[in-house]
A and B are shown apart, each in its own frame.
Chain A
């Protein structure tokens, strides 16, 4: 199953961590050749040998940049630092293992839930079972959790890259100061929290008004309802009193 997802084939091989690190180390070394060629070209754009070396290995140059975390000039890197940079490409396995599985599990649960909801709906029994209504209410946060886990799989799982294989995250960040980032982040959190509170006040107000047939709400509050109120299905709501 995982092989299908990872390799999009039936017979593909999913490499293990040690294979990946070995592969990454080779790419760091190959990237260093490209990096050196790039520096040569910057001094002398006419150098054909350097251009050929760069074109042959430019796909690996991002791996050489991983060394910048440990050393200013990647060309001076020691063997230990190259191994360290190769190990940096290993993701945080337990977090991704569980994030991915919970996300996919939730996806299958949603399919089952909506199949059931569809069945109940075509049988016009959507509101007959209390447990189903409770379930529907309680699972409201799950799509959000699934989306957040997908975000973790994609963004955290891609680290140390901001662009896989091309640009390490720590080199891709802007030079905006941490203080400014704190300021805007806390500013947005505060601002949206205030808006959330206002939103909740309004929601509670309109929930209190309730889905009555005539929407006996003065002025503007009635504008969301169709003129003349909502027609209730008598079969489904035998006890509802008109005009309530």
Chain B
């Protein structure tokens, strides 16, 4: 086999990260625009401009989320089982909010009554804000550890772990980082896609959101260094070992999530990218370089998503109640054959997906203006 089990596991750990980053960058801006609907668009026409700025692309963007879930199912089955059951009610709330999006987009334009339209505007707002918040909260809980254990027959069990238990102060801080960064990203996108008063409002909100992202993400880093316990594998690691998360011992130590950054100093690039990108996005919006602002905003999102991933490596889902059965890259993957076959599928299909995505955005380039609403009857 050209790639050994260790390499395949690291590659699939990286691909999971790529999918999450793809989701943050692509679906992130349309979640952000949905959150900005009431703050940038003050009347029906303005909101229709915003809705049509993301109308043709949001569904495709959301597929990154589905792909992430699918990749977890196929490449990291124990992670899929533990997280989908452990975050059961949180997933339920996210799904309800996400289901509001297609109906919001499609139903809103079917009647002219202002109350009807306002109802679906709020549905779209919830569909943007709730997932943005909960995805961040989920990341926070990854860092804190989730209350599950794997028994000797490799079945996951959960302790209590209700929805409200997920909302600890640190997890909520992570949720706010997520909301701030997606508002920033959505505002930059809006500034590119609209003109006049909408562009101006989005620009001002984007500057504030960029600064907020910088401050909140920095605060999050401070919290991880000082208040959050990290996890360390204390038994010998066999990167080629069987996918059985019950065979190791794990210690919980304050500040241990920073160990990787001491061992591998190059990793510091990720948090710097997250912080500097957010600041640069605010600065570039200030000087009205919206295109460049989008690139640094995307870079900031990449850094922010990558930072906890690198900090936790090799952990992918630490267990707060039974740290020894935490899931790591070395003991929670599919078989080598599964990983290899799916890697081949990724190598074939990912370029195709990226190519047609690039083509779609090329076709849809340019601004959405209020006059377009009158010209094109196919708009929402």
- Which A positions have Cβ atoms within 8 angstroms of B? 42, 171, 174-176, 180, 183-184, 187, 191, 195, 198, 202, 205-206, 218-223, 227
Contacts and interface: CB of A to CB of B under 8 A. Distances in A.
B92 A219 contact: no
B377 A223 contact: yes
Closest 5 CB pairs of A and B: A223-B377, A174-B85, A220-B109, A184-B92, A175-B157
Interface in B331-380: 377-380
B88 A184 contact: yes
B115 interface: no
A218 B109 CA distance: 12
A191 B96 contact: yes
A238 B379 CA distance: 34
Contacts of B85: 174-176
A221 B107 CA distance: 11
8 contacts: A174-B81, A174-B85, A176-B158, A187-B92, A191-B96, A198-B107, A220-B110, A220-B380
A220 B112 contact: yes
A183 B89 CA distance: 9
A47 B109 CA distance: 69
B379 A223 contact: yes
A218 B112 contact: yes
Contacts of A223: 109, 377-379
Contacts of B107: 198, 202
A180 B112 contact: no
Given A175-B85, A223-B378, 4 more contacts: A187-B96, A198-B103, A202-B111, A220-B377
Contacts, number: 49
B2 to A, nearest CB: 27
B158 A184 contact: no
Contacts of B157: 175
A21 B247 CA distance: 38
B68 to A, nearest CB: 20
Contact of A180 (B81, B88, B377): B88
B152 interface: yes
Most buried by A among B88, B152, B153: B88
Most buried by B among A42, A176, A202, A227: A176
Contact of B156 (A174, A187, A195, A198): A174
Interface string B28-51: 000000000000000000000000
A227 B375 CA distance: 11
A202 B111 CA distance: 8
Nearest to B152: A42
B92 A195 contact: no
Contacts of B92: 183-184, 187
Contacts of B96: 187, 191
B89 A180 contact: yes
A36 B109 CA distance: 64
A220 B156 CA distance: 51
A38 B157 CA distance: 22
A191 B92 CA distance: 12
Contacts of A184: 88-89, 92
Interface in B52-102: 81, 85, 88-89, 92, 96, 99
Contacts of A183: 89, 92
Most buried by B among A42, A218, A220: A220
Contacts of A198: 103, 107
Most buried by B among A174, A184, A195, A202: A174
Nearest to B48: A220
A175 B103 contact: no
B152 A221 contact: no
A224 to B, nearest CB: 9
